[in-house]
Amino acid sequence: MISRKNSEQLFEKAKTYFPGGVNSPVRAFKSVMGAPLFIKKGDGAYVWDEDDNQFIDFCCSWGPLILGHNNEKVRKKIEETLANGTSFGAPTKLENELAELILSRNPYADKIRFTSSGTEAVMSAIRLARGYTKRDKIIKFEGCYHGHSDSLLVKAGSGLVTFGESSSAGVPEAFAAETIVLPLNDPEALEACVRELGNEIACAIIEPIPANNGLLLQEKGFLTKLREICTQYGILLLFDEVISGFRVAFSGAAEYYGITPDLVTYGKIIGGGLPVGAYGGKAEIMACISPDGPVYQAGTLSGNPVAMAAGIAALEQCAQPGFYQDQEERTNYLVDKINAYAGEKGYAFEIFSIGSIFWIAFSDKVAIRRADEIDSDMTPFKMLHSELLNRGIYIGPSGYEVGFISKAHTKEILDTTFPAFCEALDAVFA
Ligand code: PLP
């Protein structure tokens, strides 16, 4: 058993400062065993906690760190930029550079606006959709998480599932009433909804790769149908690519599936580990944003130069030829080996993956596409989490969360992971 003495002490102190001892709920380890680990540093595929335990990190800060921790080019670019100051509240060349890097490779957005988080990006994109269409209702899909703005905290992802709530207290009923929640991968439910309310709906928002309530991979036919229906009823299709953007392909799931949304949101990887979000879309729609148009949205630290610098250094590396193929190959290399091992042993266990995103499921189903298809007994996950930590492997502390593989997770590191993972599985199924 690893020692968590220092982390435990820090957590006790943190509980006196912060609700639940944390500044974001899932970090509290409520759904797994023991105190949360306080992380001291990260380098490449590794993190070290305050008790000096070393882990191979498959959480990667919940997705942003596609290059691993402390990437040299990202760090250097941050240091260079920092030498000139941290924030000006005026435009900088770096904003142009990051926008150019993104838009020149992205046929899905003509213009973009930077924010400081994914939540802000999505909240603003929804306001834009409402302002552009002059309609109020929105469609979201059950189990998709789009950040913590009021109208989107309705049947959202893991944090809420983990705490057994389907929506948050403090959200006025009138707000939630404008959000229509539909099941994923269900074209009939979608058709029935738009037949009745189609002309009142501003946008349909979806994680095209739903990755906040397990990994609920959609059939491409469903996403295509959604695109067709949106076009038919004048509903804007909003792809929330905060996780999938720059992760499964440079231009995210839109590129991966070849489906064009009207609006797209980004976060996580776009900031190279610093706080950046963005929303973008067709020029005509983006023209509604202030100061060009009537939809207001702003931010003191939006486009912050240091964050832009980190984003540029990260995305330049992601844009290299073969980057995403290599990410996917290494992910499959590990996932296939573990799945084969679990299969030989007859364990009800499967790791689902796409690109370099994976999800650990204690299930013998061949596909899980909807929130209600997930087995709600998280006891085996809880055990696995603890067994993995004790063997030097760090994954997110919830069975509803996905894991990530970074460029720093070399085959050698994955070869070290494999036997440790198998041992942990054996301990769970013993
Ligand atoms: N949208 C999706 C798909 C997300 O996964 C998240 C966060 O995990 C968000 C939006 C919110 O982003 P942030 O946590 O940066 O506010």
Best CA proximity match to 402, nearest among 372, 364, 371, 361 = 361
Q: Is 158 in the pocket of ligand 1 (CB under 6 A)?
A: no
| pLDDT, tens digit, 9 for 90 and up, residues 180-237 | 999 999 999 999 999 999 999 999 999 999 999 999 999 999 999 999 999 999 999 9
3-state secondary structure 205-229: EECCCCCCCCCCCCCHHHHHHHHHH
Q: Quick one: pLDDT band at residue 176, thresholds 50, 70, 90?
A: confident
Listed residues 291, 318, 345: the one ending a domain: 318
Q: How many CA atoms lie within 13 A of 307 on its CB side?
A: 22
Let me know whether 276 and 348 are in one domain.
no
Best CA proximity match to 265, nearest among 214, 205, 176 = 205
| pLDDT, tens digit, 9 for 90 and up, residues 5-37 | 999 999 999 999 999 999 999 999 999 999 999
Let me know whether 156 and 289 are in one domain.
yes
Let me know whether 263 and 337 are in one domain.
no
Let me know whether 135 and 267 are in one domain.
yes
Q: What is the predicted pLDDT for the residue at 255?
A: 98
Strand order in the sheet with 263-266: 111-115, 277-281, 263-266, 236-240, 201-206, 137-141, 179-182
> Helix 305-318 crosses helix 72-82 at what angle (to 10 degrees)?
150
Q: What is the predicted pLDDT for the residue at 206?
A: 98
d(CA 277, ligand 1 centre) in Å: 9
Q: Which atom of ligand 1 is nearest to the CA of 241?
A: 3
Best CA proximity match to 95, nearest among 243, 312, 283 = 312
Beta bridge partners of 361: 350
Let me know whether 249 and 308 are in one domain.
yes
Listed residues 286, 318, 350: the one ending a domain: 318
Mean pLDDT of 397-418: 98
Rounded to whole angstroms, the Cα distance separating 260 from 278 reads: 17
For 82, the domain range is 72-318
Say which CATH number the domain at 416 has.
3.90.1150.10
Which residue of 22, 115, 144, 212 sits with most ligand 1 atoms within 8 Å of its CB, as the best mutation to test the pocket? 212
Number of domains in the chain: 2
Sign of CA dihedral 57, 248, 378, 26: positive
Q: What is the predicted pLDDT for the residue at 72?
A: 98
Nearest CA to ligand 1 atom 14: 118
Say which CATH number the domain at 77 has.
3.40.640.10
d(CA 130, ligand 1 centre) in Å: 20
Q: In this structure, how many other beta carbons lie within 10 angstroms of the beta carbon of residue 199?
A: 12
d(CA 176, ligand 1 centre) in Å: 19
Q: Is 122 in the pocket of ligand 1 (CB under 6 A)?
A: yes
